[in-house]
Structure 1
Amino acid sequence: MTSPTPQAPARRPTAADGFVVVDKPQGWTSHDVVGRMRRLAGTRKVGHAGTLDPMATGVLVLGIGRATKLLTYVVGADKDYDATIRLGVATTTDDAEGTVAAVAGPDAVGRVDRAVLDAAVADLTGDILQVPTSVSAIKVDGKRAYARVRAGEEVALKARPVTVSRFEVLDVRTTTAVVPDGDLTDAGDPGEGQGDGPTREVPVVDVDVRVTVSSGTYVRALARDLGAALGTGGHLTALRRTRVGGYPLDGARTLEELEAQADADGTLATLPLADAARGTFPVRELDEAEVRALGYGQWVEPSGRADVVAALSPSGTLVALLEDTRRRGESLAKPVLVLAPAP
């Protein structure tokens, strides 16, 4: 008698179009979270707005269904992070996942007092030029920088303008760290760890910081550059993203909470398209005639703003995203994305 063929688990009902704000757990990649969300939402049409490293936790904005079309605007929003920077040790990846590349020693670490630290932080605040970390996902001649580094290539990325609108020191602690004993020039490839060789303890300074940065800013690179400015080397030991644009951490849910809700209600709950848009764009209220016109892709009267606006129907439905422009000498609002076509 043959045993019955195991049945695949039933697919969940498809979630409504909208956003889900996840509190990403440590050790998960952003792609891992998207994979879990595809199962919870019952659809493969899931995307995220801005990668978080596996070491990092916190706000990861996901789009479900048609809401994925809004994600490109969320990616460009500014972001808040809480982080811990360790001064005295530099790593190959500028964070705790890399191997130790250099150790400053007690003399250099001992020279870091609060006045010196605050001056170095001030120099990294405002509009600055930042060289992205070499293990970033930036493409160099069609290949990701981190892939080139892992292949043993030297990667030199160009500095680019970013804005660090807040770089606040919350706490400073003197402690020790365990590092390999001996020559660090053959510490291994990024991500391989330090091995099982002899170790020693060295003095370090841990600095808890809170930063607000523009899109494209690497907090790991801030840690690296702060350490370089102080002559100690530096890397991140903890990173938590607490806000992306209009989506703060207190509106995020863990994967366990999301799964429990979907199990209890039968369908994953999402932030509706109109509410998702309110967190990203200024809002324009439409009349019925404008709703019909936009449904057919027609242009309407200008919104009077330089940025993209979310256009809502009288019933509160997200109809389109609009951008003012000029056509034949006339100022009009052009639909850059229509989400509610005409009936």
Structure 2
Amino acid sequence: MGRTRKGRAISGFVIVDKPAGITSTSVVNKIRWTMQAQKAGHAGTLDPAATGLLAVALGEATKVLPYVTDALKAYEFTVRWGQETTTDDAEGAATRSSDLRPSDAQIEAALPAFRGDIMQVPPAFSAVKVEGERAYDLARDGEVLDLAARPLFVQKLELTGRADPDHAVFEMVCGKGGYVRSIARDLGRSLGCLGHVTQLRRIWSGPFSLHGAVAWPEIEAVGQGEALDARLLPLETALVGLPECRCPEASVALLRNGGAAMVFPADGLQWGDEAWASREGRAIAVGVYESGTLRPTRVFAA
């Protein structure tokens, strides 16, 4: 007999404007405790020092987290020139310094090399796994890591501000697995002046933006219960990038039991495309479309 989960069977997303100084896991745990949810997770870790959008999934919404994690994300960040650090941000100790300061024109000329499909070496202090262990744990123990470069798609990287010669503000839109700290480090090296991140804020992620996000003081001000239920977004929000198929009532039970069933396809849907099936606006399943039917790969409870 299976173990019954404790908590409320609620599903959806709570979009949190994470403050600096707390971990993404702490945010998830706080939301789960506050809303008494049976299950919770998040889409894309933010460093403790970073702020901005963190999409917290509850219940059945945890099944669609990959569609948010894999989506494009946008960041605003500030780079301080003239110094590299162990962590590639202001939290770490300085390792190298330079008196050089780039001009706006020099920065603009360097940016194209960081756009499109690039290879990026993660920071030593990152969640990348090395032989089963997190890189940041090894780095804290004093190990010198030689992390492999990883592919990253950068759709946009623009210089947006310059308060003084020591600092530059950027906006970046990138795909899954991007490290802003690595961009700052590598851009500083390419300019010969070195650099690290001093401020980082995620402003949108896939279908979610900071508009209407729940501020941390609001979360801290409420106890356990239903106070945040009105801020819950439906799990279907994460599926906006997939074609939607309508399904008849007779198909609902079949799909939820993991069987292929008839659907009414969206325009232009082709054999083998990934799509999601809905009934009266509610997601029933995500799966592979096969000539009038959907073969489910993820199903959602009623």
Aligned match of 1:220: 181
Equivalences for 1:142-291 in 2 at 5 Å?
Answer: 142-175=132-165, 205-258=166-219, 266=227, 268-279=229-240, 281-291=242-252
Q: Distance in 2 between matches of 1:222 and 1:88?
A: 15
In the alignment, is residue 21 of structure 1 matched against residue 40 of structure 2? no
1:135 corresponds to which residue?
Answer: 125
> Alignment partner for residue 324 of structure 1, among 278, 289, 298?
289
Equivalent position amino acid for 2:275 in 1: V
Is residue 61–residue 235 contact of structure 2 (8 Å, CA) maintained in 1? no
* 1:80 counterpart = 2:113: no
- Which position in structure 1 is the counterpart of 2:116? 126
Cα shift readout 1:315-338 (whole Å, capped 9, x = no counterpart): 22211112236xxxx785310111
Q: Which amino acid aligns with 1:121?
A: L
- CA-based RMSD of the aligned residues comes to 2.4
In 1, distance between residues paired with 2:225 and 2:11? 19
Match of 2:3 in 1: none
Given the superposition, is the C-alpha separation of residues 266 and 127 from structure 1 closer, same or farther in structure 2, using an over 3 Å criterion? closer
Q: Using the alignment, how far apart are the partners of 1:251 and 1:231 within structure 2?
A: 41
State the TM-score, normalized to the length of structure 1.
0.78
Pick one of 259, 263, 266 that aligns with 1:298: 259
Assess if the C-alpha contact under 8 Å between 2:67 and 2:239 holds in 1.
no
State how 1:30-49 maps to structure 2 within 5 Å: 30-49=24-43
- Classify the secondary structure of the residue corresponding to 1:269: helix
1:65 aligns with 2:59: yes
Aligned residues of 1:15 and 1:267 also touching (Cα < 8 A): no
Distance 2:113 2:298 in 1: 40
Amino acid aligned to 1:92: T
TM-score (norm 2): 0.88
Letter in 2 for 1:139: K
Q: CA contact under 8 A between 2:115 and 2:155: conserved in structure 1? A: yes
Sort the Cα spacing of 1:214 and 1:269 in 2 relative to 1 into closer, same or farther, 3 A.
same
Q: Distance in 2 between matches of 1:340 and 1:88?
A: 54
Q: Is the 8 A contact 1:41 1:64 kept in 2?
A: no
Alpha-carbon shift at residue 257 of structure 1 (Å): 2.6
- Structure 1 gap segments, 5+ residues each: 1-11, 176-204
Residue identity (%): 39
Q: Equivalents in 2 of 1:172, 1:52: separation in Å?
A: 24
* Distance in structure 1 (CA, Å) of the matches to 2:197 and 2:142: 23
Q: What is the aligned partner in structure 2 of residue 90 from structure 1?
A: 84
Q: Closer, same or farther in 2 for the Cα pair 1:98/1:129, shift >3 Å?
A: same
3-state SS, counterpart of residue 84 of structure 1 = strand
Deviation sequence 1:239-264 (CA, Å, 0-9, x none): 00011100011131113234557779
Whichever residue aligns with residue 254 of structure 1, its letter is A
Match for 1:152: what amino acid? G
Cα distance in 1, alignment partners of residues 231 and 16 from structure 2:
11
User: Mean Cα displacement is larger for which, 37-46 or 233-242?
Assistant: 37-46
Per-residue CA shift, 1:102-142, capped at 9, x if unaligned?
Answer: 1101xx22xx1122111111111111111111111111111
Shift of 1:277: 3.6
Corresponding residue SS for 2:71: coil
Over residues 177-208 of structure 1, what are the superposed CA-to-partner deviations in whole Å (9 max), with x where a residue is unaligned?
xxxxxxxxxxxxxxxxxxxxxxxxxxxx2111
**Structure with larger Rg:** 1
Q: CA deviation at 1:272?
A: 4.7
